[in-house]
Structure 1
Amino acid sequence: MNIKSYIQITRPANVITAVSDILAGVAIAVFSFSYEEVNITGVLFLCLATMGLYGGGIVFNDIFDLELDRIERPERVIPSGKISKTNAVIYGSFLLISGISAAWFNSPLSAIIAALVAACALVYDKYGKHHSFFGPINMGLCRGGNLILGMSIIERSIEQWWFIGLLPVCYIAAITMISRGEVHGGNKNTLYFAAFLYIMVSTAQLYFSYQLNNLPVAAAFVVLHIYLIFKPLLAAIANPIGPNIGKAVKAGVLSLIVMNAAWVSVSGNILLALVVLCLLPVSIWLARFFAVT
């Protein structure tokens, strides 16, 4: 068994970003509640859950893309023969089931949310990605659901703050729109609209931090996030060729960690925000060895 191939197919650098979603969700939960109400063991189970959900979703993405990848990306794990399609299906199913099971150890509600995230991922993998409008929204719902999964650490918080889960929908929709030009080049109008969605998310973070009297701290994280995503995006807008688009997508995915650190800083917990931010170099390091897109 080629262990590296099984790790590679889950995009481990991206999985780290999913863990940061959970931590951001936990921080949002304490916008109205106390960190003393947070069950640390539950947080660990939710982190394991998102790792299974994200990894399983990515595996099925490659399974459904097999025929296209034979032509456009033959170096990927399944078309190259490093993992058979049958073994990939078994592996992806195991990861998704493990993710839902881990969420159950926090609460039945967490398991239901995890199951919905898994369903959204499979719908995107099979159908959503082929739709220019609903595809990006579908992918964004996976991340939004993941954020709400983190909020389920304090279930009462979901009723108050569920709508924040719509903002990752906008952010991921932007990345998904950009990624459509990764192979053959992009469209400038699409890139401009993605930039608008990015700005909308950052503006919302600044607004909530102002409302919670944590603007000075949050602003530093938001500005860092804007810098990291807009530097490659502006280069792609200036010259929307495949390689530039790929860099913009990679920056958008890895910078999810910074966006989530910003959400934590909105809660006023600087220490946890820095802990989340420390996941970024880990993700970047993994991206040196494993594909992100």
Structure 2
Amino acid sequence: MPAARDLAELVRLPAALTVPGDAWSGAAWAGTSAAGSGLMPVGSVLLYWSGMALNDWADRAVDAVERPERVIPSGRVQAPTALAIAVGLGVAGVAVTAAVGGRRALRVSVPLAALVATYDVLAKDSPAGPVVMASTRGLDVLLAAAAAPGAAARPAAAVAVHTAGVTLLSRGEVHGATPATAGAALAATGSALGILASSLRRGSGIPPGRRRTAAAFALLYAARVGVAQARAAASPDAGTVRAATGAGIGGLTFLQAAWLAARGRFLPAVVVAGASPAFRRAARAVSPT
């Protein structure tokens, strides 16, 4: 049986802190009650962990050369065990979403699980990779908004665009990226902010207090993610790109918090935003990338 720390590395345990904000923000914009959406993040986290475990299983040959310290090439977790964990977590994730959201949620969680597997096994190194990964996070936002997915289209789009940029940049974590790639990631961050800004404009029906709070979280997002990506654009070596990728993963919580605040879900917004510093502390012990 693998050690607990090895399992934590396999599923990128700290990165799970960035997942609940997807479901909560989607539920907020779809008008689902906080109580009704409270357990949906459990299903999202299980599906996320499934994808991380499957990613390491699919990458085991490449990691043996480029990242031999990872749990499968180092022998701390056997490849069949990692695959079994990935499948088990995926099945559990779909089951939880069905228990919480019924058939409507299944219509989202089953394609989400399929896209996660498609990315890890087929699409990751293809030109479509960032788009497929972005689709998984966009669907994750819609998971708790299954009753009215159109109402949550903007937060889903913002999270998807953000994810596409981070995924594109992450390809340079080992060998470095190009300034153009880092610039594209920075442009994606700007686009995510633009989608949010269009929803916060005057005349949108969002009260001024909510707009100001959401804008404050948006500034934190820009400072955390945009600044790191700007550094990567100026110096796209592997170390700087890796740091920007980590900032992109953890900084997503500020974007989610902004969408929550815009709908008046202030307590969940604070909780989600608080996951960013927790993510940074946890990432020192277990790598999120």
TM range (shorter): over 0.9
Equivalenced residue count is 282
Query: Are positions 1:22 and 2:23 aligned together?
Result: yes
Q: Which of 173, 194, 218 is residue 185 of structure 2 equivalent to?
A: 194
Match of 2:139 among 128, 132, 145: 145
Measured at CA, do residues 231 and 162 of structure 1 come closer, stay the same or move farther in structure 2, by a change above 3 Å?
A: closer
Letter matched to residue 129 of structure 1: K
| Alpha-carbon contact 2:28-2:34 (below 8 Å) kept | no
1:176 paired with 2:167, answer yes
| Aligned mates of 2:278, 2:231 — CA distance in 1 | 25
Q: Which runs of 5+ in 1 are unaligned?
A: 31-36
User: 1:206 is matched with which residue?
Assistant: 197
1:38 maps to 2:33: yes
- Report if the CA contact (8 A) 1:206-1:218 is conserved: no
1:220 maps onto 2:216 in alignment: yes
What do residues 261-282 of structure 1 show as CA deviations (whole Å, max 9, x unaligned)?
A: 1110121332321121122232
Match of 1:33 in 2: none
Percent of residue pairs bearing the same amino acid type = 26
Whether the 8 Å contact between 1:18 and 1:51 is mirrored in structure 2 is yes
- Kindly tell me: are residues 164 and 277 of structure 1, through their superposed partners in 2, closer, same or farther at Cα, counting changes over 3 Å? closer
Where 1:78 maps in the other structure, the secondary structure is: coil
Task: Answer yes or no: is 1:130 the counterpart of 2:125.
Answer: yes
Structure 1 residue 280 corresponds to structure 2 residue 271: no
* Partner in structure 2 of residue 34 of structure 1: none
- Per the TM alignment, residue 163 of structure 1 is displaced from its structure 2 partner at its CA by 5.1
> Which amino acid counterpart does residue 124 of structure 2 have in structure 1?
K
Aligned counterpart in structure 1 of residue 55 of structure 2, from 58, 61, 67: 61
Q: SS in structure 2 opposite 1:151?
A: coil
1:51 aligns with 2:38: no
Question: Take 2:144 and 2:26, find their aligned partners in 1: how far apart are those partners?
Answer: 4
For normalisation by structure 2, the TM-score amounts to: 0.93
- Measure, in 2, the Cα distance between the counterparts of 1:181 and 1:278: 28
Q: Does 1:111 align with 2:102?
A: no
Corresponding letter in the other structure for 1:68: V
Partner of 2:79: 85
Following superposition, the deviation at residue 27 of structure 1 comes to 1.8
1:171-228 deviation digits (Å, cap 9, x = unpaired):
1110011111111111111111221111111121122122123321211110110000
How far has the Cα of 1:43 moved from its partner? 2.4
Q: Does 1:160 align with 2:148?
A: no
Answer whether contact 2:224 2:247 (CA < 8 A) is retained. Answer: yes
**How far apart, CA to CA, are the structure 1 residues paired with 2:131 and 2:59?**
19
Bigger mean CA deviation after superposition, 232-241 or 265-274? 265-274
Structure 1 residue 85, shift from structure 2 partner: 0.7
Contact persistence 2:24–2:34 (CA under 8 A): no
Higher mean C-alpha deviation, range 159-168 or range 265-274? 159-168
The answer to whether the 8 A contact 2:170-2:242 is kept is yes
Residue 168 (structure 1) shift: 1.9
Q: Are the structure 2 counterparts of residues 84 and 122 from structure 1 closer, same or farther at C-alpha, using a change threshold of 3 Å? A: same
- Asked if the contact 2:257–2:270 (Cα under 8 Å) also holds between the matched residues in 1, the reply is yes
- Alignment partner of 1:70 is 2:64: yes
Q: Which runs of 5+ in 2 are unaligned?
A: none
CA distance in 1 between counterparts of 2:226 and 2:11 reads 26
Deviations 1:227-248 (A, max 9, x none): 0012221211111100000000
Q: Is the 8 A contact 1:217 1:265 kept in 2?
A: yes
Partner of 1:229: 225
Structure 1 position 238 matched with structure 2 position 234: yes
Counterpart position of 1:251: 247
